[in-house]
A = this chain, B = another copy of it.
Amino acid sequence: MPITLASNNYGKSRVRVVKVTRHADRHDLAELTVNVQFEGAFDAVHLSGDNSSVLPTDTMKNTVNALAKAWSGEQIEEFGSQLADHFLGNNPQVSRVRIEIGQIEWTRIAQSAFMRGSEEKRTTRVIATPATVEIESGIENLVVLKSAGSAFEGYKKDRYTTLKETTDRIFATAITANWIYRISQVAFGPCWREARAAMLKTFVERDSPSVQHTAYAMGEAVLRAVDDITEIRLSLPNKHCLPIDMAAFGLDNRNEIFVPTDEPHGLIEVSLQRR
């Protein structure tokens, strides 16, 4: 059987850029990390070493910088679309471009001064072809913890099960969520904030019988809150905080002292859609 090129893509990852927008009364600040990836008619590059169709990844980086200047500094979804449009418009050899952007959180502390926020990121992914565009928005690494209203019991047990059932545990997770809009022009900022608020409200207010149940409820809350979102995926690590057995010290640990652990961790993923 002959060997064939089944698929290929190439691009530039981790292009970092800071944009300062200088208003009369204040500066605005945006810090982004951008990935650009191309698919298309690149067989000759791979098979015969003919580079004539290859826009260098260094040029992709330069383009991110150049277009950042024209960008409003506001919605990353719009910047992603502008990049996708530019690359498709100037590169007929490209059949599909994927732009991923993560925005770092800076909090204003003065007219032209800022403090780094949490490791939470606002994200977008724009996938475009000459005929179509799909825009995802999302959140990465929104870390939350509740110390009440979380249980885990009634689960399946086998010979390797040692976990104790509990009606009161710590539930800590790092929310990563990605959602797809029905249309390519929505009010990205307000939609993003409403989706985020819906997830947080559900996490806080609703009792959790399992991470799965809470993950589903959070997705449902987003779909109920924002009509233009048609689909959402959530990925929730269970960042275990294990109660420490203090019987050996003659102490009774009444759910007060825990050891937080990074590994191993549970991982719960769920996607919801309208149909």
Contact = CB atoms under 8 A, between A and B. Distances in A.
Interface of A: 1-22, 27, 29, 31, 35, 37, 42, 45-47, 49-59, 61-63, 65-66, 68-69, 90-91, 106, 109-120, 142-149, 152-163, 170, 200, 203-205, 209-213, 215-216, 220, 223-224, 231, 237-238, 241, 244, 246, 248-251, 253-275
Contact of A212 (B46, B157, B255): B46
Given A14-B264, A160-B66, A9 B275 contact: no
18 contacts: A2-B274, A4-B272, A4-B275, A5-B216, A7-B269, A7-B271, A10-B211, A14-B263, A16-B259, A17-B260, A20-B255, A27-B148, A68-B257, A109-B204, A110-B204, A111-B148, A113-B145, A115-B142
The binding surface of chain A is classed by DSSP as mixed
Nearest to A29: B147
B213 A45 contact: yes
B52 A18 contact: no
Contacts of A12: 264-267
A3 B49 contact: no
A50 B154 contact: yes
Contacts of A118: 115-119
Nearest to A43: B216
B271 A8 contact: yes
9 interchain residue pairs of minimum CB distance:
A116-B143, A49-B209, A14-B263, A112-B148, A46-B216, A1-B274, A58-B163, A57-B266, A62-B160
Nearest to A111: B148
Nearest to A235: B9
B267 A11 contact: yes
